[in-house]
Every structure is written in C-alpha cells, then in structure tokens.
C-alpha cells in the first residue's frame, strides 16, 4: 500500500477521533436511539459503553495503520473498504438525522470531515488499487 493512501487513512482515523469527541461531549447516546442501544450492549452505563466502543474504534484504526496496511493484500483492502463504508454511512446518517430533527445533532460537524476525508481516501485507494 502506498504511503499517501496510508497517510489519508490515518487522517480519516484522526477525524474519527475528533468525531467521537464531538459525539461524547454532545452525549449522543442520550439523543440517538441506535447509539443508546449499541452502548447498552456494552455497559449499563451508556457513557461508559460509548467510551469503550469509541476507544476500541480508535485503537483498531491505529493498529490497522501501524501493522496491517503495510502491504496491498486482501486484509488491507478489507480494512480500507470497511472504513470507507463506515465513513459514508456516518456522514450521510448524521446529515439526514439532523435534517429530520431540524436542528444540530451531536456529531454533525465532524461527521462531514470524516465523510470528506473518506472520499479522498477512496479516490486515492482506487487510483493505486
């Protein structure tokens, strides 16, 4: 895997970390039922569940960057496509949710940064794939 693709992947992961922080400070699990349900699977305390999930996502992204994206193989391709899928669903989902709510919802601003950097990652990845 080329270095530019790897760097873009890291930027997406760092944007996701900022996104998680925005969602955490906005207490996403209190206003978005799917987030509440997901957090409930991890812990009776939704705040703790949210932290565990999002720290896990960040650690997975960093581990992928450091250890799994060294070569252009099926695992690295799967990881890139997984993050692209999540970035697209997240960016579109937050936008639609905010439109339906007719107000800002936790995570809206940074979800668009994740979405845009994910598009850049996809473009670069497809160029080198």
The closest of 87, 73, 63, 64 to 1, measured between CA atoms, is: 73
For residue 112 the two structure tokens come to: 């668009």
**The pLDDT of residue 115:** 98
The closest of 120, 117, 111 to 92, measured between CA atoms, is: 111
Burial class of residue 19 (count of CB atoms within 10 Å of its CB; 0-12, 13-18, 19+)? buried
- What is residue 29's DSSP assignment? G
- What is residue 44's DSSP assignment? S
pLDDT, one tens digit for every residue, the chain (129 residues):
889 999 999 999 999 999 999 999 999 999 999 999 999 999 999 999 999 999 999 999 999 999 999 887 899 999 999 999 999 999 999 999 999 999 999 999 999 999 999 999 999 999 986
CB 68 within 8 A of CB 76: yes
For residue 99 the two structure tokens come to: 């439109």
pTM of the model: 0.92
Sequence-distant (6+) residues with CB within 8 A of 37 are none
**The pLDDT of residue 129:** 67
Query: Which stretch of DSSP H or E encloses residue 77?
Result: helix 74-101
């Amino acid at each position: 895997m080329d270095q530019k693709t790897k760097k873009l992947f890291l930027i997406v992961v760092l944007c996701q970390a900022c996104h998680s922080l925005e969602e955490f400070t906005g207490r996403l699990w209190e206003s978005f039922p799917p987030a509440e349900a997901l957090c409930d699977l991890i812990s009776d305390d939704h705040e703790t569940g949210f932290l565990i999930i999002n720290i896990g996502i960040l650690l997975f992204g960093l581990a992928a960057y450091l250890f799994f994206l060294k070569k252009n193989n099926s695992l690295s391709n799967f990881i890139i496509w997984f993050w692209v899928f999540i970035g697209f669903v997240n960016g579109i989902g937050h936008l639609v949710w905010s439109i339906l709510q007719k107000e800002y919802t936790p995570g809206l601003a940074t979800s668009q940064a994740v979405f845009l950097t994910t598009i850049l990652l996809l473009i670069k990845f497809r160029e080198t794939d």
